[in-house]
Amino acid sequence: MNGDTTEPTTSTTPTTASHRITLPQPRIDRVIAGGTVVTGAGVQPADVLIAGERIVAVASPGAVPLHEDVERVDASGQYVLPGMIDVHVHLREPGYVHKEDISTCTTAAAAGGVTTVFGMPNLNPVTKTREILDDLFELYDSKSLVDWNHNPVPSQLDEVKAMAEAGVAAFKIYMVVDTGRDYPHPSGSGIHDHGHLLRMFEAIKPTGLPFMVHPHDQAIMDVTEQSYWAKGDRSPQAYAQTLATHNGLIWDTAIAVLLQMAEATGTKLHIVHMQTAGSIELVRRARERGVQVSCEVNHWALFLSTWRDVNELGPYALSYWVPDHHREAVWEALNDGTIDMLASDHAPHTRAEKEVGWEDCWACHTGTPGIQDQYALLLDSAADGKISLPRVAEVVAEEPATEFKVADKGFIRPGYHADLVLFDPRRTTTYSNDAVLSRSGWTPYDGRTSQGAITRTMVRGTDVFADGAVVGKPGWGRLARPAL
Ligand code: DOR
Ligand code: ZN
């Protein structure tokens, strides 16, 4: 399909009655025909013409005459959407492959319409040197079904420049130091010392890359959890209430500090896990002052993490609680552009690592899988009128491509990679543990259904998911570089 075997098509252009010239046209291998194309600019019936790995035209249906051996993918009745660029994914390799590995994670990504993943550095070894990063790039290169990048930890300041030169899209740090467990923030990946944070902001600045931070005030967490522990309460409810203390103080205090540091150093900040009204207000005010900041919401803050979920799913509901007034603020901010993008924060853990959380949520590994489910769930919300289809295209692809300057990706436009998703609104998606492709083997959405289904995912013009099956091959994925 992506070979160079197809003959170029030609068109004969009349000039004068006695004289015709023949113009060569770009070779076209594949056309996504008869679908409704969704971009940030709008929704329109159009054919998407593909040559090799790239889109060559988005044209009115049937407007471009095609050579008979061009492959035709019938998209009638379906939406043609951009493949998701998921900037926050825990692929777990190396070090924690009993939870997930690069192949299993990107298999789930392909089924979920995710065409590019950014991996996170809380691995063993923690990604903090160029040497470790180079080894990791080799692993992705041989194992990933979809395009990829990786965000290393900038804690070793003298490694920052070399890691940037390798082609990373951003750096990542957690302001968390786990109490009572050694994962998910292994030593070296969690830093909340303000002096060290400031030095990292400064070291990143010359690279021009964003600094992605998991905001968290460990000191406030420590004193809050003590009051529950004193009563012998280590339940999922106690954990959820600890993190939600004082209407989001643990998150908001950290975000206020981070925004000040971004402003002081001029380094671009990317905030993960937006989940409180206070944080949203802080980002709005910082932007008004000209602070360079982007931020993401994760699927659980939109579709999970109600108090009922905390009670019913316990440790499987991530362990965070997003009270209703915060959830409403998050939806509003996603729609008005304060929150730039959706990212999964796909965080697979085994059932055994979760089960201990019913008794002691501080001993369980926090986080929940989501890479396979998030895009379909967001499109279900579009069907319900909670978000427009053009905004969906922005938050899953156009905004992450823009904020992380991902070259060639994110837009359904001529010249861009043909990273596409077909979504059939007439079908139904059923979420079940049996359908999970992640090694973790469970989804917090087990038992739910939603309107519409992803039917095909394409990475650079080649199917990685089609007709209900993952058809991508490990090693097809390629480094998605920032265009600096
Ligand atoms: O709950 C979380 N899980 N928070 C993180 O920061 C990391 C993630 C993981 O790796 O499981
Ligand atoms: Zn995460």
- Residue 46's DSSP bridge partners are 35
Q: Residue 2 — pLDDT band, cuts 50, 70, 90?
A: very low
How many Cα atoms occupy the beta-carbon half-sphere of 302 within 13 Å?
28
**pLDDT per residue over 283-293, tens digit each?**
999 999 999 99
How many angstroms separate the alpha carbon of residue 463 from the centre of ligand 2? 28
Q: For the stretch 87-112, what's the b/e string if a residue is b when 16 or more beta carbons lie within 10 angstroms of its beta carbon?
A: bbbbbbbbebbebbbbbbbbbbbbbb
Q: How far apart are CA 205 and CA 194, in angstroms?
A: 17
List, in sequence order, the alpha helices (H) in 127-217. 130-143, 160-165, 194-204
| pLDDT at residue 428, rounded to an integer | 98
**Cβ of residue 472 lying under 6 Å from some atom of ligand 1:** no
On the question of pLDDT at 12 being above 60, the answer is: no
Q: Residue 219 — pLDDT band, cuts 50, 70, 90?
A: very high
Q: Are 296 and 341 in contact (CB under 8 A)?
A: yes
On the question of pLDDT at 422 being above 80, the answer is: yes
Q: Residue 23 — pLDDT band, cuts 50, 70, 90?
A: low
Nearest ligand 1 atom to the CA of 349 is 11
Q: Tell me the one-letter amino acid at 180.
A: G
Based on the number of CB atoms within 10 Å of its own CB, is 366 exposed (0-12), middle (13-18) or buried (19 or more)? buried
Q: Residue 19 — pLDDT band, cuts 50, 70, 90?
A: low
Region 183-207: what's the mean pLDDT?
91
Q: How far apart are CA 29 and CA 53, in angstroms?
A: 9
Closest residue by CA, ligand 1 atom 3: 367
Task: Looking at the CA of 369, name the nearest ligand.
Answer: 1
**pLDDT per residue over 55-85, tens digit each?**
999 999 999 888 889 999 999 999 999 999 9
Region 159-169: what's the mean pLDDT?
98
Name the residue of 320, 322, 353, 365 to mutate for ligand 1: max ligand atoms within 8 A of Cβ. 365
Q: Are 124 and 91 in contact (CB under 8 A)?
A: no
Give the list of residues 6+ apart from residue 33 with CB closer than 8 angstroms, or none.
47, 61, 62, 72, 73, 74, 75, 76
| pLDDT at residue 316, rounded to an integer | 95
Q: What percent of the chain has pLDDT over 90?
A: 88
**Cβ of residue 90 lying under 6 Å from some atom of ligand 1:** yes
**Cβ of residue 174 lying under 6 Å from some atom of ligand 1:** yes
How many angstroms separate the alpha carbon of residue 366 from the centre of ligand 2? 9
| pLDDT at residue 181, rounded to an integer | 76
Q: Are 421 and 454 in contact (CB under 8 A)?
A: yes
> What is the separation of C-alpha 304 from the centre of its chain, rounded to a whole number of angstroms?
17
Name the residue of 93, 213, 366, 439 to mutate for ligand 1: max ligand atoms within 8 A of Cβ. 366
**Cβ of residue 242 lying under 6 Å from some atom of ligand 1:** no
Q: Which two tokens stand for residue 131?
A: 């040497």
**Cβ of residue 52 lying under 6 Å from some atom of ligand 1:** no
On the question of pLDDT at 483 being above 90, the answer is: yes
On the question of pLDDT at 1 being above 50, the answer is: no
Q: How far apart are CA 330 and CA 325, in angstroms?
A: 9
How many angstroms separate the alpha carbon of residue 38 from the centre of ligand 1? 32
How many angstroms separate the alpha carbon of residue 11 from the centre of ligand 2? 52
Domains (range + CATH), the chain: 10-77 (2.30.40.10), 84-405 (3.20.20.140)
How many angstroms separate the alpha carbon of residue 274 from the centre of ligand 2? 12
**Cβ of residue 305 lying under 6 Å from some atom of ligand 1:** no
Q: Are 109 and 470 in contact (CB under 8 A)?
A: no
Nearest ligand 1 atom to the CA of 347 is 11
**Cβ of residue 354 lying under 6 Å from some atom of ligand 1:** no
Name the residue of 93, 97, 122, 353 to mutate for ligand 1: max ligand atoms within 8 A of Cβ. 122
| pLDDT at residue 118, rounded to an integer | 98
Tell me the pTM.
0.94
